[in-house]
Structure 1
Amino acid sequence: MSGTGVVIAGAGITRHGFFAARDWKDLVVESAYAALGDAGVAPGEVSGGFVSVSLPETCEQQNLGAIAADELGLAPAPFSQVGAACAGGTVALRNGVAAVASGLSRAVLVIGVEKVSDSTSTADSMLHYPDAEYEAPAGFDYVDIMALMHDRYVRKYGASHEAIAQWVVQDRWYAQRNRKAIDYGRPDLTVAGVLSSPMVSTPITRASCGRACDGSSAVLLMRAGDAPSDCQPVEIAGIAQATAPNVLAAKFGHPGAAGADIAEAVPTTAAARDAYAQAGVEPHHIDVAQVHDCFSVMGPLHLEGLGIFPPGKAAAAVADGETALQGRCPANTDGGRIGFGHPTGATGISVAVESAVQLRGRGGNRQVADVDIAVCQSMGGSNATSAVAVLRRAR
C-alpha cells in the first residue's frame, strides 16, 4: 500500500501568542479562510469539517464544530468537534483523511484552535490530563508526570541534562526565524540559561516547558485529482493513531505497553509503523520531522519512537547538531511547542502546516534543503495517544 490518495490543498495558521481582545471564533476564521485562500477554493465547495479543541471549557460551550461551521458560513455542511488532548489536531486530520478517501466528502476543512488565555490557569487546565481517579487525587499534575519521564529517560539511557537542554536552544533558534512563533524576536538561549531557569518540577525547568498559548491552524483536504492544479498540493502518504495505557502505574510492564516503560514512546512507535507502511517508507527516508515537545525531553523521546534515532540516542544526536537546519534530520523547524507555541487543540494541525511549508519550499531562512518526505507527530496525555502523519511532495 502506498498513499491515501488525499492531499493538503491549502494551509493556514495564525500568529501564536496571547490575544485577550480576540475570541476563539476570530482565530478559527483567520486560519480557515487562509487555508481556503491558499488552496484557491471557494467556501461553498467545502463539504464537511472537523474542529479540534482540548479545553472547550475555556470557550464556555461545547459543540464547537457546528458553531465554527456557522461562523464560517459553511452550514449545513457537517462539522464535528474532536477531542484527544494535545493529539486532537492530528486525530482530526486522520478523520478528515478518512472522510475524503472514502468519498463521503469532497473537500474537508480540519481546524485546530485553543484560547488558553481565557482559562483560569494553564496548570488547572492540565489537571484534566492525568487520571482523575488515581493520579490527580494524589497531587500529580501533568508536569509532574512529564518530570518522571524526563528523570527516567536520563537514568535509563545515561543522557545528560545538557543534551536535553540543547533541544530548547534549538527550538528558540528556529522560532526566531518564524514570524508566527510566540518566541519570534526573542534573544538567543543557552544551555546554561535553560538549566538555570526556575525549577517547575524536578528536573524540568520553566524554559523547558511548552508555551501554552492562543492560536489556530487549518488545512483543506481533497483527493489529489480534485485539488486545483495550481494549489501546490502536499500528499498525505500515510496517517495513523495508536494508544497506550494512560495511568502511570500501568506504563511499567503493562501487556498493552509491550513491556516498555515511560522512557519510551510506545504509541508513537505503533502509529509510526502503520503510517510508514501506508506510505511505503522507512524512517531513514524522512527529510524533516515535527514532533510533540510539550517538554524538552519529549522531543528526543518521540524522535526515537518514530525510529529516526535508536532508543536513548536522540538527545545526544540533538546536541551533536543532527536535528539542526543542516543536520541529518532537522526537527521542529517551526520552533516546536516550546518556541513556536502550544495552543493544544491546534498543535496537531500546526505540525502538518509546517510540514507542508517545508515540502513546498516556503520556509524562508528556516527552510530545509531538498525536502521530499516529512513526518509529523502529536501526543495526547502522558503518551496515552499518539498520531503520526507522513507527508510527501506531490508526485
Structure 2
Amino acid sequence: MDGTGVVIAGAAITRHGFFPARDWKDLVVESAFSALQDACLDAGDITDGFVSVSLPETFEQQNLGAVTADELGLAPMAFSQVNAACAGGTVALRSAVAALASGMARAVLVIGVEKVSDAASTADSMLHFPDAEFEAPAGFDYVDLMALMHDQYMRKYGATHEAIAQWVVQDRWYATRNPNAVDYGRPELTVPQVLNGPMVSRPITRAACGRACDGSSAVVLMRRDDAPGACEPVEIAGIAQATGPNVLATKFGHPASAGADIAEAVPTAVAAKAAYAQAGIEPQHVGLAQVHDCFSVMGALHLEGLGIFPTGKAAAAVADGETTLEGRCPANTDGGRIGLGHPTGATGISVAVESALQLRGRCGERQVQDPDVAVCQSMGGSNATSAVAVLRRPR
C-alpha cells in the first residue's frame, strides 16, 4: 500500500504544566481553535470529532464527547470520547483516519486533554492501569511494572545505568528549547544528576519519570484532496494499533507472548510493521521519531520496537548521540514525556503535532534538518496497547 489518503491539515498544542486555575474545557478550546486556524478552517467545516482522555474521573465528568462538542459549538455532530490509557490520542487518530477513508466524514477534529492538577493524587489516578485481578493485588503499581522492564532490559542486554540516563539528559535538552514544555527554561541535566536523584522504584529515579501534567493538543484531519490550499498538509502515510499481553505472567517469555518478555515492546513492533506496510516504507526510511517515554527505559524499548535500532542496542545508540539533532534519527524532539510533560490523554496527539511541525520546518532551535518521514508512537498501560503513525511531507 502507499498511504491512507488522509492528511493533517491543522495542528496545535497548549503550554504544558500545572494550571489549577484553568478548567479542562479552557485547554480544549485553546487547542481546538488553534488547530482550526492552522488548517484555515472554521468550526462549521468540521463534520466529526474525537476527544481522548485517560482520567475523566478527575473532571468529575463522563460523556466527554458530547460535552466537548457543546463547548466548541459543534453539537449536534458526532463527537466521541476515546479512552486507551496513554495511547488514547493515537488510537483516536486511527479512528479518525478510518472515518475519513470510509467516506463517513469530511473533516475530523481530534483532541487530547488531561487535567492532572485536578486529581487528588496523580499516583492514585494511574493505579488502575495494571490488571485489577492479577497485578494490583500482588502489590504492583504502574511505576513498579516499569521498574521491572527497566531492570530486565539491563540484565538481558547489558545496558548500563549511564546509557539509559542519557535519555533523560537528551529529553531535558530538547525541552529547554520548546516553549510549550514543562521543563522549558530549566537548567540542562547531567547523567550523575539523573542517577543520584531520589529513588522512586528501583532502578527508576525521580528524574527518569514522565511528568504528569495539564495540557491539550489537537489536529484537524481531512482527505488529501479536500484540504484547503492555504494550509500546510502533512500526510498520514500509515497508522496501526496492536495490543500485547497485559497480565504480568505473560510478560516473561510466556507462550502467549510468542516467547518475548517484558524487555521487548511487542505491540509496538506489530503496529509498526503494519503502519510501515501501509506507508510503503521500511524502518531505515524514518528520519525522525517521537516515542512513548513515560519512563526513561521506554524510549529505548520503543525505538527498538519501531525497528530504528536493533533489539538491545537503542540505549547505547542514544548514549552515542544517534538520537540528537545531529544524529541518525533524532527522537523526542519536543522533550518527550519527561521534558515536555505527560498529560496522558493528550500525549498521543502531541507526538503527531510535534512530528507535523518538524516536517513543516517550524520547530526553531530544535528543528531537525530537512526531515521527510517521521514516525510517532504512543503506549497505553505497560506495553498493553501501542499505536504507531507514519507521517511524511506530501510528495
Task: Compute the TM-score of the two structures, normalised by the length of structure 2.
Answer: 0.99
- Partner residue in 2 for 1:62: 62
- Partner residue in 1 for 2:289: 289
Deviation by residue 1:160-204 (Cα, 9 ceiling, x = unmatched): 000000000000000000000000000010000000010000000
Tell me which amino acid in the other structure corresponds to 1:275. A
| C-alpha contact 1:111 1:346 (8 A) present in aligned 2 | yes
- Partner residue in 2 for 1:357: 357
Deviation by residue 1:302-361 (Cα, 9 ceiling, x = unmatched): 000000000000000000000001000000000000000000000000000000010000
How far did residue 255 of structure 1 move? 3.4
Counterparts in 2 of 1:162-241, with a 5 A limit? 162-241=162-241
- Partner residue in 1 for 2:157: 157
How far did residue 254 of structure 1 move? 3.0
User: In structure 1, how many angstroms separate the alpha carbons of the residues matched to 2:309 and 2:267?
Assistant: 16
| C-alpha contact 1:85 1:344 (8 A) present in aligned 2 | yes
- Partner residue in 2 for 1:38: 38
| C-alpha contact 1:244 1:256 (8 A) present in aligned 2 | no
Are 1:88 and 2:96 matched, yes or no?
Answer: no
SS in 2 for 1:225: helix
User: In structure 2, how many angstroms separate the alpha carbons of the residues matched to 1:54 and 1:128?
Assistant: 11
How many pairs does the alignment contain? 395
| C-alpha contact 1:267 1:384 (8 A) present in aligned 2 | yes
SS in 2 for 1:379: strand
User: In structure 1, how many angstroms separate the alpha carbons of the residues matched to 2:145 and 2:252?
Assistant: 14
SS in 1 for 2:296: coil
Are 1:266 and 2:263 matched, yes or no?
Answer: no
How far did residue 258 of structure 1 move? 1.6
User: In structure 2, how many angstroms separate the alpha carbons of the residues matched to 1:20 and 1:314?
Assistant: 38
Deviation by residue 1:261-284 (Cα, 9 ceiling, x = unmatched): 000000000000000000000000
Task: Compute the TM-score of the two structures, normalised by the length of structure 1.
Answer: 0.99
SS in 2 for 1:108: strand
- Partner residue in 1 for 2:300: 300
Counterparts in 2 of 1:5-84, with a 5 A limit? 5-84=5-84
User: In structure 1, how many angstroms separate the alpha carbons of the residues matched to 2:255 and 2:109?
Assistant: 37
Tell me which amino acid in the other structure corresponds to 1:132. A
Structure 1 residue ranges without an equivalent (≥5): none
SS in 2 for 1:212: coil
User: In structure 2, how many angstroms separate the alpha carbons of the residues matched to 1:349 and 1:124?
Assistant: 24
User: In structure 2, how many angstroms separate the alpha carbons of the residues matched to 1:220 and 1:23?
Assistant: 22
How far did residue 135 of structure 1 move? 1.3
SS in 2 for 1:345: helix
Once the two structures are overlaid, the 10-residue window that deviates more, 132-141 or 305-314, is 132-141
Tell me which amino acid in the other structure corresponds to 2:245. P
User: In structure 2, how many angstroms separate the alpha carbons of the residues matched to 1:47 and 1:256?
Assistant: 41
| C-alpha contact 1:27 1:215 (8 A) present in aligned 2 | yes
How far did residue 213 of structure 1 move? 0.2
- Partner residue in 1 for 2:344: 344
User: In structure 2, how many angstroms separate the alpha carbons of the residues matched to 1:279 and 1:211?
Assistant: 32
User: In structure 2, how many angstroms separate the alpha carbons of the residues matched to 1:244 and 1:201?
Assistant: 23
| C-alpha contact 1:166 1:318 (8 A) present in aligned 2 | yes
Structure 2 residue ranges without an equivalent (≥5): none
- Partner residue in 2 for 1:109: 109
